[in-house]
């Protein structure tokens, strides 16, 4: 599929970029995000700062955001793993309890059946 050409504006300058068809909105959103990072630097308009320096700093801020999100994802993945282990432990514990209850119930029923047999035997004609 042919690439699409589009224009984005960052730090007061227009850039032509290529993207896959359908990715235009995403590219536009990313350019707006980068522009917000440029603006967050608070560099006055009349200051002579190299464009590459401004874009580098904005890129580093964006990379810092990404790093924070990746750390959050890792922490959430570790938490999910802990919860899975806890669920597994609880399931095993529950299964063990159910098995124990079933065993005790079966033993109780066997005792009751034996007692009924004894009672029936007492009242059966010989």
Q: Given this model, what pLDDT does residue 126 score? A: 60
Q: What is the pLDDT of residue 58?
A: 95
Q: Residue 5: phi, psi to the nearest 5?
A: -105, 135
pLDDT confidence of residue 70: 96
| pLDDT given for residue 1 in this prediction | 77
For residue 31, the surrounding DSSP H or E stretch is helix 24-40
At a CB cut-off of 8 Å and minimum separation 6, what does 24 contact?
A: 4, 6
Over its length of 126 residues, how does the chain's per-residue pLDDT go in tens digits? 789 999 999 998 999 999 999 999 999 999 999 999 999 999 886 778 888 999 999 999 999 999 999 999 999 999 999 999 999 999 888 888 888 888 888 888 888 888 888 887 778 766
């Amino acid at each position: 599929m042919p690439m699409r050409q589009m224009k984005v504006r960052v730090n007061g300058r227009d850039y032509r970029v290529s993207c896959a068809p359908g990715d235009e909105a995403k590219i536009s959103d990313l350019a707006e995000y980068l522009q917000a990072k440029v603006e967050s630097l608070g560099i006055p308009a009349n200051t002579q700062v190299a464009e590459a320096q401004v874009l580098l700093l904005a890129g580093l801020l964006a990379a810092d955001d990404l790093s924070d999100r990746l750390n959050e994802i890792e922490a959430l993945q570790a938490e999910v793993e802990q919860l899975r282990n806890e669920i597994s432990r609880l399931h095993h514990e529950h299964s063990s309890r159910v098995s124990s209850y079933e065993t005790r119930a079966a033993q109780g029923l066997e005792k009751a059946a034996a007692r009924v047999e004894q009672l029936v035997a007492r009242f059966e004609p010989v």
